[in-house]
Structure 1
Amino acid sequence: MTLLTQTQAAPRQQGAIERALRSPKGALSGGWLLLVICGAVLAPWLTGYHYDIQNLTDAFRAPDASHLLGTDEFGRDLLTRILYGARTSLTVSAIAIGISVITGMVLGATAGYFGGWLDRAVSVVVDLTWSFPEILVALFLVAIIGPGVTGTMAAIGVAYLAQFTRLTRAQIMAIRNETYIEAARSLGARDSHIVLRHLLPNSLAPVLVSGMLATGDGIILEATLGFFGLGAQPPTPSWGAMMSSGTAQLFRAPWIILFPGLAVASTVIAVNLFGDALVRALDIRSRMREV
C-alpha cells in the first residue's frame, strides 16, 4: 500500500512538459522561452558587439541593418544589451525563486508535519512577510543588503518565500494523516523518511508550478529594482536599467525603452502561459479541489 501510494503521483507528473507542449499555448510559450534562454546563453556568438563598450559616434542610432534594434545614448548596440540583459534577468529570477522554493518547502513541510509551537512560529513569520507587498519587502531588503545582483536575489527570494511555505504547509497538512502515512509510522519509519519519501513527492507538483509562475513575477520585480537603480549595477546590463535610461530619451529615441520593455513583457507572458499549460497538464486545479 505504501509503495503504491508513494508513486501514485508519478503518472500525473511524468511527461507533464510533453503534455503541456502539445497544446498550442504551451508550444508557443515554450518555444519563446527556449528562444530567450538560447539567446541569453549564446549571446557572445549571436552578436558582434560588446555590451559595455561605448561608441558615442553611433549614439541614438535608429534600428537599421547594422544595429537591428538601434543603439542607446552611449552608442551601444541595443540587441546585444538585451541578450546579455536576459542573462541577468533570467539568472537572478530563477536562482532567487529556486532558493525560495526549496526554503519554503522545508519550512512548510516541517511546520505542516510537526505542528504545535513550531507551526505557530513559522506561521507568524510567514504571515508577517505575507502582509506586505513583494516590492516593499524587496526594497527594504535591498536597502539593508545594498544594490547589486546579490541583494536583488536575496530580496526576490525572501519576498516570495511566504507563498511557497504556505502552499507546502497546506499540502502537507492535507495528507499527513492519510492511511499510507499511518502505515509508514507503524512500520517504524522515521519522520524524515516520511516527509522526504511520502509527503513531499505528493505535494511537489503544485509547488513547482507555482514556482514557475512566480519566476515571471520575479522577472518583473528584478526589472523594477533595476529601473530604480537598485538591481544589477553598470556596466552589467539589465532590462529594468535599460528601460530607466530610456525614459529620458523617450521622444528622441523611443526604441531604447520600447525593446527592453517588450522583452520583459513577452518573457513574463510566456512564463505565465507555459505555467498555465503545466497546470492543465498536471490537472492541479482538480487536485487542489479534492484537497
Structure 2
Amino acid sequence: MTAAARPAPAVLRAFRRPVGALAGAWLLLVIAAAIFAPLLSPYEYDIQTLKEAYQPPSAAHWLGTDEFGRDLLTRLMYGARTSLSVSAIAILISVLCGMTLGAAAGYFGGRFDRLVTVVVDLTWSFPEILIALILVAIIGPGTTGVLVAISVAYLAQFTRLTRAQIMTLKGETFIEAARSLGAGSGHILFRHLLPNALAPVLVSAMLATGDAIILEATLGFFGLGAQPPTPSWGSMMSAGSALLFKSPGIILFPGLAVAITVIAINLFGDALIAALDIRSRMRPPQ
C-alpha cells in the first residue's frame, strides 16, 4: 500500500483542511457526548418528572424538557449512543462481509463470481429502505432488527466495490510477480490485494454511515427501531411530531442532530477523499 493510500495518515491530512477540521470536530464532539453521556449529564434519560414537562430551554435544562419532563439534552446524548452505534456497527459488519464476498468473487471468478454477482445485482435493484423494512418486519422491531437490516441493505455496495477493485488489481505486475515467486491465493489476497483495495472501501463506508444514520432514524421514526424508554434520534422525532406546535424543540433538536451529523460525515468524507487522492488514482492514465 502506498503512503498516499494509507488511511491513518490521510485522516490527519483531512483534519488539516478547514472543512475537514470543522466537520471532524463536530463528529468528535458527538462521539464524545455519546460515550460520556452519564458523566456529562446530571439527569437520567428514562426518569419521568411530569411536573417539569414542556419546559423551554433554561439554565437547568439547556434544551428544555419533553412531554414527560425528561431533559432533552440528556436524551439527545443517549440517543446519539443508539443511533451512532447501531449505524456504525451495521456498516462495519456490512464492510467485512462485503469485502470478503467481493474479494473472493473478484479473485477466483467462475461460478462463484457469477452467483455473487447475480445476488448482489438483485439486492442492488431494491432501495435500502425497502430491504430494511422487509427485514425488520421479519425479525421484529428493536436495535437487533435494525442492525441486521442496515447490514444487509448496504452489503451489495461494498461487495461490488471490493470486487471491482480486486479485478482491477489482480492483473497488476506486482501480483504476477508474487504469484511467480510461489505466493498462495491467501497471501496474495490478504497481503497485496485487500490492503490496496482498502482505502476506497473505507471512504465509501464512512459516507454510507451517514446514510445508515438516516435509515436508522427513519426506522426509529416509524417505531421499528430502539424501543422505549431507550432513546434514539428517530424515536425522539417520532414522539415530537405530534407536539410540533406545543413544544417544537422535541422534534427540532434531534432532527438537527441527524442533519448536522450526516452533513459533517459527508464533508469529512470529501476531505478524506482529497487527502487519499482517490479521484486522481482512479483516473485512467493519459
User: Using the alignment, how far apart are the partners of 2:3 and 2:186 within structure 1?
Assistant: 21
Structure 1, unaligned runs of 5 or more: 1-6
The answer for the alignment partner of 1:4 in structure 2 is: none
Are residue 174 (structure 1) and residue 153 (structure 2) matched?
A: no
More displaced stretch, 163-172 vs 184-193:
184-193
Kindly report which structure 2 residues correspond to 1:1-291, keeping only aligned pairs within 5 A, or say none: 7=1, 9-13=2-6, 15-290=9-284
Equivalent pairs counted in the alignment come to: 284
User: Using the alignment, how far apart are the partners of 2:284 and 2:214 within structure 1?
Assistant: 32
Offset of 1:18 from its aligned partner?
1.2
CA displacement, residues 151-210 of structure 1 (integer Å, 9 cap, x when unaligned): 101000100000000000000001111111111111111111100001001110000010
TM-score by length of 1: 0.96
* RMSD over aligned Cα atoms: 1.0
3-state secondary structure, aligned to 1:185: helix
User: Using the alignment, how far apart are the partners of 1:71 and 1:171 within structure 2?
Assistant: 50
The answer for the alignment partner of 1:3 in structure 2 is: none
Offset of 1:11 from its aligned partner?
4.1
Structure 2, unaligned runs of 5 or more: none
User: Using the alignment, how far apart are the partners of 2:44 and 2:66 within structure 1?
Assistant: 13
User: Using the alignment, how far apart are the partners of 1:40 and 1:108 within structure 2?
Assistant: 33
More displaced stretch, 250-259 vs 56-65:
56-65
Offset of 1:58 from its aligned partner?
0.8
Identity %: 73
